[in-house]
Structure 1
Amino acid sequence: MPFPTPFIQRMQQQLGNDFAAFEQALHTDAPVSIRLNPFKWKEIPPLEPVPWASGAFYLPERPAFTPDPLFHAGAYYVQEASSMFLEQAIRQHLPGREAVIALDLCGAPGGKSTHLTSILPPESLLVSNEVIKSRTNILAENIQKWGSPCNVVSQNDPRDFSRLPRFFDLVVVDAPCSGEGLFRRDPTAANEWSDANVKLCSERQRRILADIWDSLKPGGLLVYSTCTYSPQENEENLTWLRHHYQAEVLPLEVEESWGISEAEIEGVKGYRFYPHKSRGEGFFMAVVRKTAEEGSTERVGGKNKGGKKKKAVFSEAPKAIQNLLQEWVQSSDAWEYVQHNEQLSVLPGRWMPEIEALYQNLRISYAGTPLAEIKQKNLNPLPSLALSTILRPEAHAVVEVDLETAQRFLRREDVLPDGAPEGWVLLQYRGLGLGWIKRIKHRANNYWPKEWRIRMELNPASYQPVI
């Protein structure tokens, strides 16, 4: 596939003698990698590890992930290896820290959000945001499958976060970009590329950084990344940020064997992934600290228009219902059991004021773990409970199912496995919660969400497990 001539000319200048190897790499197959969910899957597969990320592995070839029930159960996430370098920013600059509030600003489809959930200090609260509604739905699906109770999913423009000044300890901006790093696996990105689009992306990235800056606490970290090689979208944007705001660019320790290139413009250090040097796609990342001199480091809970106190978003779940819900999840004094409209959820108690502020200032899709919905005075357990890491399986009727039954369930077909009693039944596959059926005499209703269902035809006989 031919690449745009101006792109080739710029990369020749940018890489010099390395360009021939770079161009050759663009015509090879992109590596495939997965990252295990440390809260759900402990077994280490016999695969080559991704060196800069824990629990991450390269696959020898790209399998079909859709037929794998473990993929839908959140046992692993399919993520491009270079973007997992985010872990180094967290490990090196948030080591031994107390729980934080973090924002993944451009979160869909969920790779960095699920990764952050795995590596942030315990009990941290992660807000995963996406501005486009359809992509927010995909983000919410992947976060729920990962199973953490300390997540909030929102759908907002970056400027909306100005209502929450000095709110976040960490902001990750995986900025929309010209997509040069994806050329070899996405021909559309190459066809849509132009110098004008690079300039447009750079301007949009600066607006995003400016819009989100006030919501970062002084002393907090901002991780900026793109999947492009363009200095205009990378180092030049960070130089602009440093000139206009109190921003300190932080270095990272990088093993030479990883093949990552350190780039620097006017003292701004960034880290580049080229496909001929490191085993991954094109990627750029840099870490910035907001200097404490900008103001108080005290967290601000959000601005209310007119200074009036807003009505609380949540009400405490009735005591009898709380007692039941406490049996459904792993016991902890850390949880708050709340009701929002007809939905009952468990939320991390230490962050209740902050979660209230998020709901009062942003468009929130969901928070914590939605446990059940009230239907005609009955409690119907929700899919997120079946997939949650705080689920207590022993509090429910559980049936372990085979591959064929699991696949049929994920296609939202009617399944009635042997041993399923009357009422609500939790289906498990290889020990992981998958979803709910409700047996009514000689049939059972399938409660796997319609929008999550597998639409392709499946053949269990040809299935090869991924892990």
Structure 2
Amino acid sequence: MSNRLPSALLRALIEEHGIEERSFLDEHENNVQLTSIRLNPLKKTDKFNAEEQVPWCKNGRYLKERPSFIGDPLFHAGCYYVQEASSMFLERALEQADLSVPVKVLDLCAAPGGKSTLIASLLHPESLLVSNEIIKSRVPVLSDNLTKWGALNCAVSNNDPRDFGRLEGYFDIMVVDAPCSGSGMFRKDPAAINEWSENNVQLCSERQQRILADAYPALKEGGLLIYSTCSYSSEENEQIADWLCDTYKLSSVRLPIEASWGIEETVSEKHACYGYRFYPHKVKGEGFFITCFRKQDGIEKDTPQLKLPKLNQNDVLAIEKWIASETLSLIPAKDGYCLIPSSLKNDILLLQSKLYLKKSGVYAGKFAGKDFIPDQELAQSNVLNNTVSRIGLAKEEALKYLRKDTLLIPDAKTGWALMCYEGFGLGWAKVLPNRINNYYPKELRILKEFN
């Protein structure tokens, strides 16, 4: 047995799953680090055209080496997301639903946003994605990542799973990437080995059951439940699948895989539920488990029709001057307005009445007197029209802007300007006769200097 990996975990993998011990240990001890990204179809760049595709994700790419993402303005513009390749297999599970029509999706444990941005990439424009994070301190990074992604049909909530009982039978798809003991990430994060214990595995299993039980009523009959972890332990994976079928009326969904991918299909002991295990000595990715079910009972409630608050028409006209699309609606949010697809207006109002929402669609901005102050979310959306002033920046200028350094741009037109890199919005600046005020959010600014 390895001195590095927990002997109890290895023993279970050998006895329960026939793991090839030497290959598995060698892969962890070699400490090979893979780097993968997922491209944003809303913000297409050809930068990674030559890179190898992740076979189970059409926008996933393996990089030959890990670059300095913090020094790439395209990363800050939201043109791609750095994500572990195994977890991109979620795409294959989501495809078991008809994504060509509008659906409602709940990503229950969503921070930092990898799976939410993947989901957003696949959905019909009139679908609704609710990305929830129970831990308040993790909500800002989730919101920021969805803002960079630029999707309009997303809401971010900060709620306990049991709060979704207020939305019984509402969602077509529920994704639960549950908190777990983390053994699948041992190669990537060796420090996590010291935190692993059989007792923690059991505690995680109990927590996973509570999360699923609390949120389950919000899934409608015929809806898709996708459950995943980054754990190797059966107690958090196949045994959870059996517990779900013991407790609820669910049917297991078999997912399509190819032998060349190296993914292992498993069948749970009691209910023969299909599961999919990713081992780093067999796939180009880290440890991961996913299983999928279709709900066979429950209800689908009609969504009540809610009245939109009366809007200040002068505000509406002022904001509309910035927007290209006519299929968007404004609703009050915080001290300003957010933009959402008009077809989702009633759904957002319902969510606002039932949940604590941190973000709805794209926050357009607020007014100071009669002056409209555009928000960072608007800068990183795809809704701005061609009349909005844009300033293209070279890479060094873009990095200066992202550090909130002073910029000198001769002959720039006075007023608000969208600062762009390779055509993609980074944020706002206000050009004055004698200077340029940098409005990039201070909490997002990069601190590193680049040579």
* 1:411 partner amino acid: R
- Aligned-pair CA distance for 1:299: 4.2
Q: In the alignment, is the contact (CA less than 8 A) between 2:408 and 2:436 conserved in 1?
A: yes
- Aligned-pair CA distance for 1:298: 3.7
Instruction: Write out aligned runs for 1:393-404 (5 A).
Output: 394-404=386-396
- Aligned-pair CA distance for 1:96: 5.3
Q: In the alignment, is the contact (CA less than 8 A) between 1:173 and 1:225 conserved in 2?
A: yes
Match status 1:416 vs 2:408 = yes
Deviates more, 1:315-324 or 1:407-416: 315-324
Match status 1:353 vs 2:310 = no
1:282 equivalent in structure 2: 287
1:20 equivalent in structure 2: 22
1:71 equivalent in structure 2: 75
TM-score, with structure 2 as normaliser: 0.95
Give 3-state SS (helix, strand or coil) of 2:420's partner: strand
* 2:128 partner amino acid: L
Q: CA RMSD in A?
A: 1.7
Give 3-state SS (helix, strand or coil) of 1:315's partner: coil
1:60 equivalent in structure 2: 64
Deviates more, 1:138-147 or 1:40-49: 40-49
Match status 1:322 vs 2:299 = no
Give 3-state SS (helix, strand or coil) of 2:321's partner: helix
Q: In the alignment, is the contact (CA less than 8 A) between 1:90 and 1:120 conserved in 2?
A: no
2:52 equivalent in structure 1: 48
1:270 equivalent in structure 2: 275
Deviates more, 1:160-169 or 1:192-201: 160-169
- Aligned-pair CA distance for 1:319: 2.3
- Aligned-pair CA distance for 1:149: 0.8
Inter-partner Cα distance in structure 1 for 2:410 and 2:92: 47
Deviates more, 1:111-120 or 1:41-50: 41-50
- Aligned-pair CA distance for 1:249: 1.0
Q: In the alignment, is the contact (CA less than 8 A) between 2:126 and 2:344 conserved in 1?
A: no
Inter-partner Cα distance in structure 2 for 1:121 and 1:94: 12
**Structure 2: which 5+ runs fail to align?**
none
Inter-partner Cα distance in structure 2 for 1:68 and 1:162: 42
1:9 equivalent in structure 2: 11
1:386 equivalent in structure 2: 379
2:398 equivalent in structure 1: 406
Q: In the alignment, is the contact (CA less than 8 A) between 1:161 and 1:211 conserved in 2?
A: yes
2:434 equivalent in structure 1: 442
2:168 equivalent in structure 1: 165
**Structure 1: which 5+ runs fail to align?**
302-308, 460-467
- Aligned-pair CA distance for 1:360: 1.2
Match status 1:144 vs 2:118 = no
- Aligned-pair CA distance for 1:15: 4.2
Match status 1:431 vs 2:423 = yes
* 2:16 partner amino acid: Q
- Aligned-pair CA distance for 1:339: 2.3
Inter-partner Cα distance in structure 1 for 2:314 and 2:274: 56
Inter-partner Cα distance in structure 2 for 1:185 and 1:199: 23
- Aligned-pair CA distance for 1:154: 0.7
Inter-partner Cα distance in structure 2 for 1:183 and 1:337: 46
Inter-partner Cα distance in structure 1 for 2:75 and 2:338: 24
Give 3-state SS (helix, strand or coil) of 1:448's partner: coil
Q: In the alignment, is the contact (CA less than 8 A) between 1:217 and 1:299 conserved in 2?
A: no
Q: In the alignment, is the contact (CA less than 8 A) between 2:43 and 2:424 conserved in 1?
A: yes
Identical positions, percent? 44
- Aligned-pair CA distance for 1:97: 4.1
- Aligned-pair CA distance for 1:17: 5.9
Match status 1:368 vs 2:393 = no
Inter-partner Cα distance in structure 2 for 1:78 and 1:420: 34
- Aligned-pair CA distance for 1:421: 1.5
2:300 equivalent in structure 1: 297
* Equivalent residues, number: 445
Q: Deviations over 1:29-68 (max 9, x none)?
A: 1311001100111525201110000111000111111111
Give 3-state SS (helix, strand or coil) of 1:385's partner: helix
